[in-house]
Amino acid sequence: MANAENLDAKIEQLLNVEKQMRLAGDVAGTRKAVTDILQLCFDARAWKTLNDQIVVLSKRRGQLKQAVTAMVQQAMHYIDETPDIETRIELIKTLNSVSAGKIYVEIERARLIKKLAKIKEEQGLIAEAADLMQEIAVETFGAMAKTEKIAFILEQVRLCLDRQDYVRAQILSRKISPRVFDADASKEKKKPKEGDNVVEEPPADIPSLLELKRIYYELMIRYYSHNNDYLEICRCYKAIYEIPSVKENPAEWIPILRKICWYLVLSPHDPMQSSLLNSTLEDKNLSEIQNFKLLLKQLVTMEVIQWTTLWDTYKNEFENEKVSGKSLGEKAAEDLRQRIIEHNILVVSKYYARITLKRLAELLCLSVQEAEKHLSDMVVSKALIAKIDRPMGIICFQTAKDSNDILNSWAANLEKLLDLVEKSCHQIHKETMVHKAALKV
């Protein structure tokens, strides 16, 4: 009781000092008085008094910005010293209410929200934690370090993925441009010009830019896995594979390169997939996993792939492949079969102008109905140009030319023919001249 009265008396004295300094406009004096009051409460472990004093000091008439900033920063150091979780939450909520709407303590407020969200997550309240984090738009904070901003947004994305809010996760992830990870950190540290915002140093627990790059792409893999967007997953793994720390360690890059190969094979055929396929085949590291190199070569080679032979060869590899602790699954196995059928149809279309449906089904090792379905799907998705004469059972892979195209091709052929005639006449004339000259001699 005596200690409590003694504390109140000391606080009263310091409050009078703080008032004098504040009215005199003494920034350093006001700041010292404010931090001394908080220190007294902390030393006495009077947490309720500490919360009350923070609110009282922040609401005093004409309170200086520097004093409020110093008070919030000082109180943040006490958060980890609180005796129990309830006291910690109460202190964070008090500081949060004090810093709300004040632009000069926006960074401190963001850090407080992050701490509160972490506590909520540990308590299993993921939805509450995600809602708390979404209140803060750190991309508008000029004084916050770039790495801290990225780490904060990535935390927002992770919580949205944990609560399976994929739409919001995508919106938040677009706030980060992948080009930001390729920036040279040494070039960025310029001396701030006069009038520029001074960027604060990030806290020690914030990962480096390259570590954040890996976290970003791992989160994007989780997002794209939900939609089974194989090509985008492949591109994410490719970006992780390009990180220097990964490339130097075979224990890390071999599993990632295997995943790149699998997702390339699973991706539908398009120019981006084709480009990635060829660039991966040129990678020297691929020779370390020879069976995957052979798999990719089969897709590049214009030859029909026997599905049963391929599945027997790679079945164990496919089933043992783990992504986020789970196997690729039956859906991916079905998609793999679909991709092989699509590859085979494209190969057939390169070698044949016209083919019977029955013969196509034989080449694809499918029934006539299945072959027709897969071919129709490819035509609809514009991966292939073909026409089916169902009564005759004939497929035509040639495009129907309009009259202008036919006339143009005829004109081109005539031009070639006339060129050949002219060259032949020239050669005959040349030979005649040579022989005439020989006879004269």
Over 80: is that where the pLDDT of 437 sits?
no
The Cα–Cα gap between 156 and 162 comes to: 10
Would you say the C-alpha torsion 337, 343, 346, 347 has a positive or negative sign?
Answer: negative
pLDDT at 194 (0 to 100)? 46
The rounded percent of the chain whose pLDDT value lies above 90 is: 1
- d(CA 95, CA 81) in angstroms, rounded, equals 15
CA dihedral 193, 195, 198, 199 (to 10 degrees): -80
Using only the alpha carbons of the chain, give its radius of gyration. Answer: 35
Distance CA 376, CA 384 (A): 9
Tens of pLDDT, residue by residue over 105-162, are 777 778 878 778 788 777 778 887 887 777 777 777 777 777 888 888 888 888 888 8
Q: What is the mean pLDDT of the chain?
A: 78
pLDDT of residue 322: 67
Encode pLDDT of 51-66 as tens digits.
777 777 777 777 777 7
Question: Which pLDDT score is estimated for 421?
Answer: 92
CA distance 149 to 181: 13
d(CA 422, CA 440) in angstroms, rounded, equals: 27
pLDDT tens sequence across 279-335: 888 878 777 777 878 888 888 888 888 878 888 887 777 777 766 656 667 778 888
Distance CA 364, CA 153 (A): 48
pLDDT confidence bin for 400, thresholds 50/70/90: low
